[in-house]
Structure formats: C-alpha cells, structure tokens
Amino acid sequence: MRRSAGIAPPKGKLGVLTVGMGAVATTFMAGVDLVRRKKAKPIGSLTQLGTIRLGKRTDGRSPSIQEFVPLEKLENIVFGGWDIFPDTAYEAAKNAAVLGPEHLAEVKKFLSKIRPMKAAFDQNYVKKLSGTHVKKGRTKYDLAMQIRDDIHKFQKKNHVSRTVVIWCGSTEIFLKPHAVYATPEKFVAAMKENHPAIAPSMLYAWAAITSGVPFANGAPNLTVDIPALTELARQHGVPICGKDFKTGQTLMKTILAPGFKARLLGMNGWFSTNILGNRDGEVLDDPESFKTKEESKLGVLEYILQPKLYPDLYGKIHHKVRINYYPPRGDNKEGWDNIDIFGWLGYPMQIKVDFLCRDSILAAPIVLDLVLFLDLAKRAGMRGIQEWLSFYFKSPMCAPELYPEHDLFIQSMKLKNTLRWMMGEDLITHLGQEYYD
C-alpha cells in the first residue's frame, strides 16, 4: 500500500517538554543548542546525519533524511519540562557531569533560562528519590489536570504551534497490567480515586494525549503502554511510542544477537553486568526500579533468537543482567558481556565485550530523533503506537496481538521503509533480481 505525501509542513515553532531534567534531558538540550550554533556535530542522530536510498541502486538517489521528509529544524525548537528539583537545566547539567567544562560554559546562558515546572511525583514509585519541587493535589486526576494546564501555558507563553512530551524521568517501580488500565473511562475513574496502579508517569502521558500532544517514553515503566492510553491516543489522533531508550549494552545485544542467529551459531548463555554511578544508577539500586529495568533488558534475546523455533541452538540459554551502582564511574558506564556460544558439532566458544560507554551521550540523539519523528508522524496524520520507532527502544511497544521486533537491522529497515511509504516512494525489499534479468 502506498501512502500519498499529505504531510502538513512544519509551520511555527515546536515545543519540546521533557519530563525529568536530569542527565539525558539536559545533555539533549545542550547538544541541540551547540549543534544549532555550529559548535558541535549531532553524532548518532539519524534525523541530522542519516541518508536514505530511494529507487534502484543504479538510480544514485540517496538524499539526506532531512531533505527527504519535512522535519522541523533545530532552530525552531523551544524547550521546557518538569522536575522534582527546582534546579535550572544548567545546574542539572553541571550536576550530571556528562559534559566537559568547555561545553558547559558554552551552553550556560541558554540552559540557565530553562527552569522546570513542578513535578507530579510520588516517592512510592521511585523509592530512592525525594524532592521539594512537587505539585499538590487531592487526587491523581487533579495532578493530571495541572499538568495539562502546564502544557497549555507553555504553548501560549512560547507561541509554539506544536508540542511533543518525552519521559526522561527516573525509572519507576515495576507495575503489572491491571484492570484499571483496560479503558480510558476506567483509567480516569482510577485517577479520581487515587488508585495505586496509576503511576505519576501515566499522568503526564494522559495529560499530553488529551492535549493532542505526542508522547514518547524513554524509561522502562509501563506509562503509555497500557490499553487505556493507546486507545486514547487513537481517539485523539496522537502518535505515541516507548519504552526505554536503547543505548549501551542492549544496543550491542541487538547488534550482535541477530548476527549469531543469522549464521546459526548456538548459544548457552549471555551474562551482562553494568557498572554505573549516575543518579539513574542510584535509582536502579532499588530492587523495585531494577525489576522494571531487568524485564526490559531481558526480553530482547528471547524475541531475537526464537528458542521455540530453534530449540537445538537456543533452547537452554542462561540470560543474566546485573546493574551495579558504583558512584566513582558517574555517567560513564561500563557494560560487560560474556557470551557463551557454540559452533559446528557443538564446540564451545566465548566472546567478551567490554563497552566503556557514556550513557547520556548515547541517549541524547535518540531523544532528538524521537521528538522530530513524532512531530512528523503527527503532521502526517499517524496516530496510536508508532512501531516504526522501535529502532530506538529496548522494549518496543506494539499491537497486543504482535510480538515486538528487537533486531536492530529489521528495525532500521522498518523505519526507513516507513519514511519511504510516508512520502509515496517505493519500498526497498533488497531482492535485487531485476539487476540480473
């Protein structure tokens, strides 16, 4: 099926509201400012540096993604957000210690002007955090209405024509699917009676969707991944996506595992451990927040390797994931992987990966791409779950009858084919027989 190119052009300014102004959010904001002032390059961002092949290989058409689809320009983005601490984005960035002193000095003026709005927060959902910059309300519904008011005030004050909200807040405790998530009506009733199944992140998602604002979830919390909110997003014509930015270790996993599977190499086990010392690491030191993250990290191999289809190769895998909070390491995480594989006649081999990464440096371009692609999707009239953005997530959202696609290369193909489809171009199948006929 071909879609005709009926995408509204990006008129006016785009407002970006981050829920949480910690390491990831401030590194993203600082990066956008540095890039638009030509002080740095947007490495890692598909929307800024990617190209897309169109037509046959012999056609020689590979425009940049920016030229191909009508994305908003970085110059037209206005930032805002919420946090449980009143620090400006500059103070928060300094605290997060991701950026070096030269970069911090360069963005000081810009980030100092970004002050968070008061957060909807409840310590029951993030045990290791407590803050003062928090909204008061009789019910969760009251808080959600206040968030809606914040969004509308931000839009008015900054004269933005469109807005996107993205959760860059801490990981909340693990929540199981619950009956109150079944429909938008049950969800509203649950907010009104302060039901414990309604986490603060869900209030932001509800407020964004009912304001017609796209919402992305960068953490592993359920948040917008519940039937009530996916249905509401469809009703309001709002695109949504999540969960959990795919950045360090899981990125490596979804690069490597499809390769082993493609070559039918067997696997006995995959042991992953992380050492990190930022606030995210501290929050994940709580077993209930870790459980949310663990579930998100563990799902990946099962879906890529398909043990039911390949019992001889992947029927007995031991997959372990550990996160160790170790303050001296700060945001510069170390992700260690030991992979036990086996080959021809069952002979065992080992692979060791030691990724000395920088968490927020890997996450910032993802935030930028998600914001720009969600805004594009909204202008293209797309609504509900945006599976083509799975590329960016550890636990991609998908329709209830589907399983998530985790293989990075399939995800990348899906994303680019969606852009071709949006613009009425032929999809690329990589068949290639026509070159030899």
Partnered with residue 354 across adjacent β-strands are 336
Question: Applying CB under 6 A, which of residues 47, 146, 230, 247 lies at the interface with ligand NAD?
Answer: 247
205 binds ligand NAD (CB under 6 A): no
DSSP per residue, 94-105: HHHT-S-HHHHH
Q: Which residue blocks in 37-75 are alpha helix, DSSP H?
A: 46-49, 65-68
Q: 381 in helix, strand or coil?
A: coil
Is the CB of 244 or the CB of 369 nearer to ligand NAD?
244
* DSSP label of 73: P
If binding means CB under 6 A, how many residues of this protein chain bind ligand NAD? Answer: 37
- As given in the structure block, the two tokens for residue 341 are 């594989």
Using CB under 6 A, which residues numbered 269 to 328 contact ligand NAD? 278-280, 283
- Angstrom distance (rounded) from CA 168 to CA 180: 25
Is the CB of 296 or the CB of 379 nearer to ligand NAD?
296
Is the CB of 247 or the CB of 254 nearer to ligand NAD?
247
Question: Applying CB under 6 A, which of residues 22, 31, 258, 266 lies at the interface with ligand NAD?
Answer: 22
Question: Applying CB under 6 A, which of residues 359, 369, 387, 407 lies at the interface with ligand NAD?
Answer: 359
CB of 42 to ligand NAD, least distance (A): 17
What is the three-state SS of 261-291? HHCCCEEEEEEEEEEECCHHHHHCCCHHHHH
- Angstrom distance (rounded) from CA 75 to CA 291: 39
Closest among 119, 203, 116, 120 to 154, alpha carbons compared: 116
Is the CB of 129 or the CB of 173 nearer to ligand NAD?
129
Partnered with residue 349 across adjacent β-strands are 341
Torsion angle of C-alpha atoms 407, 267, 219, 372, degrees rounded to 10: -20
Is the CB of 168 or the CB of 304 nearer to ligand NAD?
168
- Per-residue x/- marks for ligand NAD, 103-122, CB under 6 A? ----------------xxx-
- As given in the structure block, the two tokens for residue 68 are 């191909």
> Is 248 in contact with 335 (CB distance < 8 Å)?
yes
Q: Provide the strand spans (E) within 145-230.
A: 160-167, 215-217
Question: Applying CB under 6 A, which of residues 15, 80, 218, 330 lies at the interface with ligand NAD?
Answer: 218
- Angstrom distance (rounded) from CA 256 to CA 270: 11
Using CB under 6 A, which residues numbered 39 to 98 contact ligand NAD? 82-85, 96
Is the CB of 26 or the CB of 68 nearer to ligand NAD?
26
Question: Applying CB under 6 A, which of residues 15, 20, 80, 330 lies at the interface with ligand NAD?
Answer: 20
Count the neighbouring beta carbons within 10 Å of the beta carbon of residue 401: 5
Question: Applying CB under 6 A, which of residues 42, 200, 258, 330 lies at the interface with ligand NAD?
Answer: 200
Is the CB of 369 or the CB of 425 nearer to ligand NAD?
369
Question: Applying CB under 6 A, which of residues 79, 245, 290, 314 lies at the interface with ligand NAD?
Answer: 245
Question: Applying CB under 6 A, which of residues 170, 217, 254, 411 lies at the interface with ligand NAD?
Answer: 170
Is the four-CA dihedral 295, 297, 300, 301 of positive or negative sign?
negative
Fill in the amino acid letter for 293.
K
Q: 139 in helix, strand or coil?
A: coil
- As given in the structure block, the two tokens for residue 286 are 């709580």
Is the CB of 71 or the CB of 256 nearer to ligand NAD?
256
Is the CB of 248 or the CB of 299 nearer to ligand NAD?
248
Q: Which stretch binds ligand NAD (CB under 6 A): 44-52, 168-176, 395-403, 409-417?
A: 168-176
Q: Which residue blocks in 97-182 are alpha helix, DSSP H?
A: 101-112, 140-158
- Per-residue x/- marks for ligand NAD, 361-390, CB under 6 A? -xx---------------------------
CA separation (Å) from 337 to 60, 350, 393?
40, 10, 20
CB of 227 to ligand NAD, least distance (A): 22
Q: Which stretch binds ligand NAD (CB under 6 A): 146-154, 169-177, 231-239, 335-343?
A: 169-177
- Angstrom distance (rounded) from CA 162 to CA 416: 24
Is the CB of 21 or the CB of 222 nearer to ligand NAD?
21
User: In sequence order, what are the residues at sequence separation of 6 or more whose Cβ sits closer than 8 angstroms to the Cβ of residue 284?
Assistant: 171, 290, 293, 323, 325
Question: Applying CB under 6 A, which of residues 16, 24, 99, 385 lies at the interface with ligand NAD?
Answer: 24
Name the site residues for ligand NAD (rule: CB under 6 A).
Answer: 19-25, 82-85, 96, 119-121, 126, 129, 131, 168-171, 200, 218-219, 244-245, 247-248, 278-280, 283, 359-360, 362-363
